[in-house]
Amino acid sequence: MQAPTSADRQLLDKLRHHVEAIYHDTAIELETCELAVQLQRLMRLENTAAEPQQHVNHWSQRDAIVMTYGDTLLREGEAPLVTLKKFFDDYADEVVTGVHILPFYPWSSDDGFSVLDYSSVNESLGDWENIAAIAEDYRLMADLVINHCSGRSLWFENFLRGRSPGKDYFFTASPDDDLSAVVRPRTSDLLRKVETFEGAKYVWCTFSHDQVDLDFRNPEVLKQFVSIIRHYLDNGVRIFRLDAVAFLWKVPGTSSLNLEETHELVRLLRTLIEYAVPDALLITETNIPNRQNLSYFGNANEAHCVYNFSLPPLLVNALVTGDCSHLKMWMMSMPPAQNGTAYFNFIASHDGIGLRPAEGLLSDGELEALVETMRNFGGHVSYRALEDGQNKPYEINISLFDALQGTTSGADGWGQERFVCAHAIMLGLEGIPGIYIHSLLGTRNDYDRVENSGHYRAINRHQWDYDQLVAELDSQGSAHGKVFTRIKDLLQIRQRQAAFHPNATQFTLHLGDAIFGFWRQSFDRRQSVFVISNVSDRVLPLMLSDINLIGTDDWADLISGTQFHSREQVIDIQPYQTLWITNAAGNEGV
């Protein structure tokens, strides 16, 4: 047997430290050194060559990730995963570097987030070969649904029967426990009574009674997920989205949210993953207030990326009110991400516009006005339960295209411009952009899908007939085609700008409440880009001297191609127009 390397010893020391920190206060007896060795073997990390480098950015301005379900695009006689790859190859290959395929495993509810079997691909989508084919050409992001699994899974059936694997995999509590402080995003009962081989028990269900929370106090659960991660890496997954990870560790009498053991588990998974594949990434999905969300960066030793959850509600609010003051104040408060970490920016997703990340940023009255505006545009609202038994809006369910069809005064004729403006802002921000496929395609609210499924979130989960979609994209008069072309154009421009690197310098500009602006600068300081957006339905003047352009440089708008020759020039910004003003000398794209 080959003697352990220095990197092996370093890895084992790290793993032992993580394990001791996680299990220091549990009643489970275990030998932490032995568990560390088992985790190392499960990830096949014996004879490690070298310790992975820290503070390395595994991304650039060329990166953009499209988020989609595996069956969003359907074509008769073809596996949906094959159709999906065909779409990216034929229509988006030059602008998309990564694909997030939402849960592609067998499932029982919640459109995939109630997993029956983590090791399989849903047969209705395709197989592992189809997954690997996508991973060969695009950076593949997959969900690690780590907090819970299906109440109809083999693990849970075994839990009820006292068999392995599963016998001790699920978190139980007593109705007599103090659960008043538990934070969760649902109004259903937290505990579900089930009959087991040992009699009645109450299992913990953060999200639904078909999504039963796993008990990571049992190291066997941890080992199962380490094996799952290794399996996904072997099949080409390079980005892991830790779904609902903030709820992972539970302690009755506490909020059971963001507990220190949860953070340590994220640190443990990062250690294992980066030793296995140094450029593989962890992204935490924590739809919680902004400050708590940022805590998942740790000290650049937890998530490589965190979802920028406050961006969607604040940006939508700015565009429907014509007032960017809250968006601006929030951005000024955001710390720059350290090298080796980045924000994951998005403004639409398969869920909805989360409202918890806007708490403390928008007043209750402003949130109510936003909710009412979205209702007027055909949206629905999901609620969560408060400690006092009241319900509070948790999420707005609506397609982004419909969310931006008007202002608080009602629908108007500026919807498409407002929609493109939202993306032009997001694509300019510090961070890696994630674009929901239905935003890329300009998809509208799907009311039939809501009615058929009974779930509000289905409003933004339309399934396209692929041939019909292709006809729309190829038609010059189609709204879908126009949106698709304009967002693709923005992505192509973005790829060529060093100042749009996800970690390049960013400063907020102060241009009034109706003009949102920020400045980006490349690492070598050769290129600046001033992102200037009119978030109102009025034509607004802008004096270029207000954004401090260097007089000795020539400046141009990357989007329109307009050249600017004087710092004293006054320009009119059209409603919802965005300018990407750059100095030509430092711009690779001009």
Residues annotated as catalytic are: 243
Q: What angle do CA 481, 437, 380 make, to 5 degrees?
A: 105
**DSSP-derived secondary structure letter, 324:** -
CATH 3.90.400.10 segments of the chain: 148-213
CB 545 within 8 A of CB 567: yes
Strand order of the sheet with strand 391-397?
353-354, 391-397, 380-385
Residue 590: pLDDT band with limits 50, 70, 90:
very low
Backbone φ and ψ for 479, nearest 5 degrees, come out as -60, -35
- Confidence at residue 508, expressed as pLDDT on a 0 to 100 scale: 97
Question: 438-488: per-residue pLDDT in tens?
Answer: 999 999 999 999 999 999 999 999 999 999 999 999 998 899 999 999 999
Please provide the average confidence, as pLDDT, over all residues in the chain: 94
Neighbours of 52 (CB within 10 A): 18
Q: Give the CATH H-level superfamily of domain 505-586.
A: Golgi alpha-mannosidase II (2.60.40.1180)
Question: Is pLDDT of 59 > 70?
Answer: yes
Average pLDDT of span 277-292: 93
Q: Which CATH number fits domain 148-213: 3.40.1080.20, 3.90.400.10, 3.90.1150.10, 3.40.50.20?
A: 3.90.400.10
Give the span between the Cα atoms of 128 and 231, in whole angstroms: 11
Alpha-carbon distances of 366 from 298, 355, 369, 408, rounded to whole Å: 31, 11, 5, 11
> In the chain, which residues fall in CATH 3.20.20.80?
65-144+308-321+346-495
Would you put residue 462 in left (φ > 0), alpha (ψ -120 to 50) or beta?
A: beta
Q: Return the pLDDT at 286.
A: 92
Taking domain 65-144+308-321+346-495, whether its CATH number is 3.30.70.2860 is answered by: no
Portions of the chain given CATH number 2.60.40.1180: 505-586
> What letters, b where the CB count within 10 A reaches 16 and e where it falls short, cover 138-153?
bbbbbbbbbbbbbbeb
Of 35-39, 78-82, 431-435, 500-504, which gets the smallest average pLDDT?
35-39
Yes or no: say if 248 and 222 are a contact pair by the CB < 8 Å rule.
Answer: no
Q: What pLDDT is stored for residue 550 in this prediction? A: 73
Q: Express each pLDDT in 426-435 by its tens digit.
A: 999 999 999 9
Is pLDDT of 1 > 60? Answer: no
Residue 589 scores a pLDDT above 90: no
Dump pLDDT digits (tens) for 143-201.
999 999 999 999 999 999 999 999 999 999 999 999 999 999 888 999 999 999 999 99
* Residue partners of 235: CB distance under 8 A and separation at least 6: 128, 131, 132, 135
Binning the chain into helix, strand and coil, the percentages to the nearest 5 are: 35, 20, 45
| pLDDT, average across residues 336-343 | 96
3-state secondary structure 78-112: CCHHHHHHHHHHHHHCCCCCEEEECCCCCECCHHH
pLDDT tens, residue by residue, 379-388: 999 988 777 7
Q: Is the pLDDT of residue 350 over 50?
A: yes
